[in-house]
């Protein structure tokens, strides 16, 4: 069951029981900090016996000798310490979490050396928090959970670092990041019977407590705006669609905002073009783009980011019904462009078409980035290790690629071009919503491009990374929260540097 981590930073502390954790570098597996809880000097023999050498991301769990002030001593390897990136320090934090599941209290002894710095110590704490996430809301607690070291419980983790004040200051922003990632993960992991468009919109409204301005457009509002593309997706569902608009005004009043737009299909059956039954349960995560945008806005508000940012998410459910739209139908988007529906399972781009146009027309943003679990084709191309990046602006694309490298939420730029664009021309309308199997992720991006005009724009296809992505040292959750840290880093580098 879940372990709730409570983190604090102090200059010095007297260890008394519990778990003491120290870092070990390559070639120096037993640090000076570790020796403070090893008065008898048994750790040197212990690391020899266990084979712990300080190699990056390795762990040794040692029962403390009787004269130690700790009950257990944990060692976590950092490898060649000076080569560790910010994400590398986060991975160290993730490894520390594997030691503390059964501990009641933990002291992380970071010593007096040059590394880790206060910033790096804060990265360790962030990694620990992110690794500790577990979605078990619907699991019934068993009587023996506590006996097995489980149960929903709190663990106090004290970081001992000579610059405790610097650590605390650096961690404040990272704590906001952790909160945003947790929000995004929770939204993706929730079952669709709990999280429909109305319930999602209600959770967005909760951001008002942090200073985010939130508007929720109803079905009636969207009809007035002539959002037939978005509304058409929800015709087969008894649950009405919503468009949620979030504004964070942390920059100068005269500055144009940067905009983030998310696909929020809370469940996708495929509609009349119904999906196969196998793995359809995963389609509760087809709102991963909207979850990431919501999580990002939570981060920006939580850390009081000095930027004007807009988040727009289209929330809808795609179901088969007598009222559902059909292949062959033609709808008119808010932009006035008409769309022939070839496949009702190519629905996310219809939601984004109206959301992108609305965002561009209302806010005239300096740049727009949309996120969507849009195509299975992107997983065929890139698997689960990169999200696809499509853009009409090289500077924007480069900034996002750099942010992806820094956060290890990695992107791979995919092509756009007139030859691909021709594939979605329609005989009966201005365009069709599917160009068929070949180049499926590219033609989907070409479709979106028709709704942004000359605004610098990027489309992130996160179908392979937002849900069901491989477990890592900082994420063990089915819903990963992919995109939150990436876009927060983009905002920092592009608008706050």
Residues 210, 212: Cα–Cα separation, whole Å: 6
Residue at token pair 């983009």: 490
Contact 464, 288 (CB under 8 A): no
Catalytic-role residue among 35, 203, 205, 275: 275
- Strand (E) or helix (H) holding 298: helix 288-302
Residues 6 or more apart in contact with residue 51 via CB below 8 angstroms: none
What DSSP line would sit under 390-428, residue for residue?
Answer: EES-HHHHHHHHHHHHHHT--EEE----HHHHHTT--SS
Catalytic-role residue among 349, 449, 485, 494: 349
Q: CA nearest 262: which of 374, 376, 370, 388?
A: 370
- Catalytic residue at 349? yes
Considering Cα of 491, then 206, then 294, then 369, what sign does the dihedral take?
negative
Please count the CA atoms within 13 angstroms of the CA of 104 that sit on its side-chain side: 7
CA distances from 215 to 20, 207, 310 (A): 48, 11, 11
Burial of 437 (0-12, 13-18, 19+ CB in 10 A): exposed
Roughly what angle, to the nearest 10 degrees, separates helices 394-407 and 484-491? Answer: 120
- Catalytic residue at 492? no
Listing from the earlier edge strand, what are the strands of the sheet with 387-391?
213-217, 242-249, 308-318, 258-268, 367-372, 457-461, 387-391, 411-413
- Residues annotated as catalytic are 275, 349
């Amino acid at each position: 069951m879940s372990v709730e981590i409570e983190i604090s930073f102090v200059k010095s502390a007297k260890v008394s029981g519990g778990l003491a954790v120290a870092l070990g570098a390559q070639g120096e597996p037993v640090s000076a900090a570790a020796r403070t809880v090893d008065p008898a000097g048994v750790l040197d023999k212990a690391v020899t016996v266990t084979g712990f050498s300080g190699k990056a991301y390795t762990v040794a769990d040692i029962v403390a000798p009787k004269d130690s002030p700790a009950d257990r001593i944990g060692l976590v390897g950092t490898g060649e310490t000076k080569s560790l990136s910010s994400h590398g320090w986060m991975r160290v934090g993730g490894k520390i979490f594997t030691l503390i599941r059964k501990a009641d209290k933990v002291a992380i002894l970071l010593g007096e050396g040059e590394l880790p710095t206060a910033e790096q110590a804060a990265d360790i704490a962030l990694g620990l928090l992110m690794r500790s996430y577990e979605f078990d809301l619907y699991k019934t607690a068993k009587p023996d959970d506590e006996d097995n070291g489980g149960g929903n419980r709190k663990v106090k983790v004290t970081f001992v670092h000579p610059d405790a004040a610097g650590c605390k200051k650096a961690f404040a922003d990272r704590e906001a990041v952790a909160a945003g990632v947790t929000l995004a993960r929770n939204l993706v992991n929730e079952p669709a019977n709990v999280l429909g468009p109305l319930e999602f919109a209600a959770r967005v409204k909760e951001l008002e407590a942090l200073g985010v301005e939130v508007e929720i457009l109803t079905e009636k509002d969207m009809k007035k705006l002539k959002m037939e593309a978005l509304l058409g997706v929800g015709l087969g569902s008894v649950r009405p669609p919503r468009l949620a608009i979030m504004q964070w005004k942390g920059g100068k009043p005269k500055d144009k905002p940067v905009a983030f737009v998310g696909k929020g299909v809370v469940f996708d059956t495929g509609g009349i073009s119904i999906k196969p039954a196998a793995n359809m349960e995963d389609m509760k995560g087809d709102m991963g783009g909207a979850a990431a945008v919501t999580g990002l806005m939570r981060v920006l508000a939580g850390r009081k980011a000095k930027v004007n940012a807009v988040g727009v998410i289209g929330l809808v459910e795609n179901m088969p019904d007598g009222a559902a739209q059909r292949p062959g139908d033609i709808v008119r988007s808010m932009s006035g462009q008409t769309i022939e529906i070839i496949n009702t399972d190519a629905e996310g781009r219809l939601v984004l078409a109206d959301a992108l146009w609305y965002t561009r027309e209302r806010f005239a943003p300096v740049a727009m980035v949309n996120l969507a679990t849009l195509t299975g084709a992107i997983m065929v191309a890139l698997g689960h290790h990169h999200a696809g990046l499509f853009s009409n602006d090289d500077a924007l694309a480069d900034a996002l690629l750099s942010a992806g490298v820094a956060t290890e939420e990695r992107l791979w730029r995919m092509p756009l071009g007139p030859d691909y664009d021709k594939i979605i021309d329609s005989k009966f309308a201005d365009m069709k919503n599917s160009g068929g199997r070949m180049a499926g992720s590219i033609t989907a991006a070409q479709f979106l491009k028709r709704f942004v005009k000359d605004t610098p724009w990027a489309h992130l296809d996160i179908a392979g990374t937002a849900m069901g992505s491989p477990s890592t040292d900082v994420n063990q959750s089915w819903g990963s929260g992919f995109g939150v840290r990436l876009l927060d880093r983009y905002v920092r580098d592009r608008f706050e540097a």
